[in-house]
Chains A and B, each alone.
Chain A
Amino acid sequence: MKQDTAAKTAIIASCFYFGLALTMGLLTALKFIVPTVGEIEYLSMPRVRMLHTNINLFGWLLQANIGILFWILPRILHTKLFSEKLGVATGILYNLTVLGGFACILLGKVKNVEYGEIPPPFDYLIAVCWLLFAINVFGTVATRKVKYLYVTVWYTLGAVIWTTFVFITGNMFSQMPMVTGVNQANLIWFYVHNAVGLIFTPLGVAIAYYLIPKQLDTPIYSHKLSMVGFWVISFVYVWTGAHHMLHGPVSHWLQTVAIIFSFSLIIPVMAVITNFFGTFATAPKSIRMKGPVPKLLMMGTVYYIFTCLQGPFQAIRSVNEIVSKTDWVVGHAHMALFGAFSYYAMAGVYYIAPRLAGRRLYSEKLGDLQFWIMTLASIPFFAVLWISGVVQGYAWLNPENTFVATLAAIRHAHIMRFSTGGLIFAAYFLFLYNVLQTFFGKYPEEVEAAEAAAVSE
């Protein structure tokens, strides 16, 4: 089988899911303004929201990361992918699985696990696909032609191992009959938090650790910082699930443990960020911001800092009292998964698509335009949600405010979210067009050459 087929199929498929997920997001946002839009069972707001999160997580982000790593791993390890056939088979099974899962959500057959609504047997099949991916990762590392493992490989190995346990705990163990109530909530929060922290963080960071030095043609700033970042995150991230239940019915000591470790997260995050910015700072000025790839990597890193500083502060009990359960959390989650990790994934797609197609990116200008629209729209997108969260959080403190009045007070934020979300959605089509043209389209010079050939005939 042709080399890199597995990477290519996963990357192209993921780009389509990205659009579908954004459509669902936009529809949810619209329903916050005009709740009577699309008033049928299959498009009721909660279902559209479940589709939005699941398509983003499993259709777009996880699949894009898998595809990008299928391409990166053989390059760092100076070998071929362990099994190209297995990779393609994984991709096909994975796509059938997630499509089945999304259909179930649409029909209301869901599991009561946030971010894990996809019901059996499809969640089990996702776990199977993950193990198939793991075989390919371990196989490729085992058959490597280099001695040392680079940081990207550590993070990928970590993600593969951690995710297996995190996914099974959240989707299978939490559903066992004797696991009920708050105990179940604790297992599910372990999953939901670590889905972001031990699946998408290490995969995103792994990709950035490869792309930043490659794209900038500069060695990584500090090997020691890489090690601090990786080994500290393996230890501290997993403890923090209970910070989603502060002031709630779960054990007080567990909340305190979660708060302490949430704060410890500043250590690995700052190590990673210093390393990324250090590499940017030592890169030649002429290529630092040339084209969409370094821009997406830079902005993704900026969002990564902010999201990872918000996290620890939100976990302080007094701050949590105001922002928890409000729109703030929605803004925070979007900055992590869209701002940081989708930016890294888009950078990966832009970097790899031309190399897979064997020619340059279709249009750097279009890529730049897409970057600027998405960035200038996403900053107010996140910010209005934080503002609205704080407004609502304080409004709730006063029992004189009826609940519905506190909701009416943040209507402006919901309108802003929809309109800036619409811009992000529009910019997505520039991304899709650029990627598809790179793979399948005709380039201006090819058109000219064809015309010249036609004239000379």
Chain B
Amino acid sequence: MKLISNVEKSLLLTAAGAFALFAIGGVLTTVVPPMVDQSLWRSEFPVHEYTEQEKRGIEIYKREGCVYCHTQQIRHLASDQRRYGWRMVDAAVSESWEYVNDKEHFLGTKRTGPDLARVGGKYSSEWHWAHFKDPRNMGEKFPDRKGIYEKASIMPSFAYLSDEEIKDLTAYLQTLGRNKDWRVDKDGNPLNDYEK
């Protein structure tokens, strides 16, 4: 009790005590994880190096705040893997080494729109173009986007981006999720016919 009453009389002891208790958890959860788990910052597998154009795309993705509605992580959950898979192939779970070249991480916290971790190559660049221009009316070329999409999609239109900017952004999107080669059918044949 003497100690406690001394602490309550002393600015130094209160401040030092509050800092010391905080520092234990602070160090163990920020500095120690990358030391223990090296896959947080380096990869044994090849990881895509971004081109200049893709880097410009990343800047646009950041500036336009895409991350506030779109996460970029397939979690260790069957529902995530199935929903963000392709042609009955489950999407591969996202692993930490896949992100080591991301100077800006876009793991995200909220899915107002679908996850984008494995979106690369799923839609043609022409599709993205029409979608950025007007998510609720993509024109006659994409008849499967009629109906509920016109009514229920709440994505903002990014028609104010220049053509160049949309191209850069699309170039970045097309890289997403390709560090793992997961798009193969049951016999191991690549399912890359959708790329244009």
Contacts and interface: CB of A to CB of B under 8 A. Distances in A.
A35 B154 contact: yes
A416 to B, nearest CB: 15
Contacts of B28: 239, 257
A39 B156 contact: yes
Interface stretch (B61-69, B123-131, B188-196): B61-69
Contacts of B185: none
Interface stretch (A46-54, A285-293, A301-309): A46-54
A154 interface: yes
B64 A325 contact: no
A184 B104 CA distance: 8
Contact of B154 (A32, A154, A182): A32
B105 A182 contact: yes
Contacts of A32: 112, 154
B95 A41 contact: no
A442 interface: no
Interface string A144-160: 00011100011001100
A121 interface: no
A169 B30 contact: yes
B110 interface: yes
Interface in A211-257: 227, 230-231, 234-239, 241-242, 244-251, 253-254, 257
Contacts of B157: 35-36, 39
A364 interface: no
Contacts of B22: 158, 161-162, 165, 198, 234-235, 238
A188 B5 CA distance: 37
A453 interface: no
Contact of A249 (B10, B65, B68, B96): B96
B152 A404 contact: yes
18 contacts: A31-B154, A32-B112, A35-B153, A35-B156, A44-B158, A44-B160, A138-B15, A161-B15, A180-B99, A181-B99, A181-B105, A182-B107, A183-B40, A185-B107, A251-B40, A261-B25, A403-B83, A407-B153
Given A325-B109, A396-B79, 7 more contacts: A161-B19, A181-B98, A183-B33, A249-B95, A397-B79, A405-B148, A408-B152
